[in-house]
Each structure stands twice: as C-alpha cells, then as structure tokens.
Amino acid sequence: MLSVVACQRRLTVVVMTSTTAPDQSDAATGVERLRARERRRRVRAGLLLGALAAVAAFTAAPVTGGPGATVGGVVAATILCLLAFANWPSQWSDTERAHHELAWIWRQARADAGDEQVAWERYAAWAEPVGEEVELHLICCEPIAERVADAPSPFSRLIVRRLNAEDIEAAAEAMQQLRDETAERERQARERHELDRVQAQSRDYDEQLSTIDAQAAAELAAREQQLRREFAEQEATERRMQAEAIARAIRRL
C-alpha cells in the first residue's frame, strides 16, 4: 500500500498534469460526448426513415402497378415519417441529463459497471471539482435487473464532504476513507440480500411443511371419521343380529 508521502507525491504529479492539459474525462464532457453520439445516431436514423418514406410514396405505384399501390405507398410513407419524427433527437430533461451523468460516473468508477444482474445495492466513491474545492460523492446504484425501461434512474448521489483542493494529503485520506465506506456498505447490502433470500427460502419451506401437515391432518381426520362410521355400522349390525337371535329364541318358548 502506498504511504502518505508517496500518495501525496503521486497526487501532486496528477494535479500538475491536470493543470497543463485540458480535462477530457470529467462527467460533463463525457455526457456531452454521449449526447453528441446519440444525436448523430438519431439524425442518421431519422434521415434514413425520411428517405424511405419518400421512396415509398413515389415508387409504390410504378413498381407494383396495382390500383391501391398509391394509397398503400402514402400510408407507408406516413408511418415512416412518424417514426422519423419520433426518433429525431430532442433536448434532454434535467432528470435524463442527471441519469446519464451518473451512469457515466458509474462506468468510470466501477470496473464491473456492466454487470446488471447484481441483486443488491452497489456503491462507488467519486471526486468532483467545485470552484476551488473538491467534493466527495457517494454514488449508489440500485439493482438494475428489477427495473423496466421506463423506470426511474437506478443511480443516486450523496455529497459526503467538501475539501480544500490545496490539502492533497487530507483529500487522499478522505477519498480512501470513502472507498472503504463504499466497500463496507456494499458488503452489508449483499449480506442483507443473502439473509433475505435465505429467510424467504425458509418461509417457503415452512409453508410447504404447514401445507403437508394440514393435508396429513385432514387425511387422518377423514380416516378416523370413516373408521367411526364403519365401527358404528358394525355395532348396529351386531345389535340387529342379536335382536333377531333373541326373537327366534323367545318364539320357541
């Protein structure tokens, strides 16, 4: 593990390098690049759909030669135009921009950011410059596998601490403490998930046992009732036979 002095020297080199070259890895820049890529993709898709709409409108009748080809071509062109309009780039809302920014930060902070099958909360530490200070953020990612496309963003952030940018040693120590806290939070979240899973399995097992016990008790009660009916019928038969025997005996007196 790096010593405090070595860590301070390393941070000093990083700070000097950052002040002599433009930063291309901050969240705002990353989100803008993502926005530009999405805009280019949507524009290309919209132009392609528009071109297909024009082709469908003007070539349907000459190609097919059918009487309803023109109407069909116009309908197809209208549908393609609507798709092009729906796919055309629009301005992100504040919520969408915040989601994309946190998603970008998450990919930078976590090597396993693409693992969406984790069923517990995950955390990451992040540092953000704010004027002449540095803010330390705790980033949380809720389980993504349980969400659908229109669900709110799984990402959230909590501002943990604000530090003087000149105090490199304190910044390094605070960042390491935050990383340790994120690891501990995630460990506890995983243990809670595992405990909930075990408890759910235990409840299912108990419910199955209760169902089996109830079925066994019902079968036993039904069997006892049947035996009582059979015993009562047998006693009644014996009493009838005894009455017949006595009647025959006293008739002979």
**Quick one: tokens of 221?**
């009660």
Of 59-68, 109-118, 156-165, which one has max mean pLDDT?
156-165
- Higher-pLDDT residue of 31 and 231 is 231
What DSSP assignment string belongs to the chain?
---HHHHHHHHHHHHHHHHHS----SHHHHHHHHHHHHHHHHHHHHHHHHHHHHHHHHHHHHHH--TTHHHHHHHHHHHHHHHHHHHS--PPPHHHHHHHHHHHHHHHH-TTTT-----S-EEEEEEEEETTEEEEEEEEE--STT--TTSPPSEEEEEEEEEETT-HHHHHHHHHHHHHHHHHHHHHHHHHHHHHHHHHHHHHHHHHHHHHHHHHHHHHHHHHHHHHHHHHHHHHHHHHHHHHHHHHHHHT-
Does pLDDT of 125 surpass 90?
yes
- Which residues, at least 6 apart from 155, have a Cβ–Cβ distance to it below 8 Å? 99, 102, 103, 106, 139, 140, 141, 142
Q: How far apart (Å, rounded) are the C-alpha atoms in residues 161 and 169?
A: 15
Instruction: Check pLDDT > 80 for residue 175.
Output: yes
% of the chain residues with pLDDT over 90: 12
122-130 sheet: strands from edge to edge: 122-130, 133-141, 155-164
Residue range 14-44, pLDDT digits in tens: 443 343 333 445 666 666 666 667 666 766 7
Residue identified by tokens 């349980």 is: 146
pLDDT higher than threshold 60 for residue 149:
no
Q: Which residues contact 80 (CB under 8 A, 6 or more apart)?
A: 49, 50, 52, 53, 56
pLDDT in tens, 97-118: 788 888 888 888 888 877 667 7
pLDDT at 13 exceeding the cut of 80? no
> Domain locations in the chain?
23-90
Q: Which two tokens stand for residue 70?
A: 């023109």
- Contact indicator for 126, 141 with CB cutoff of 8 Å: no
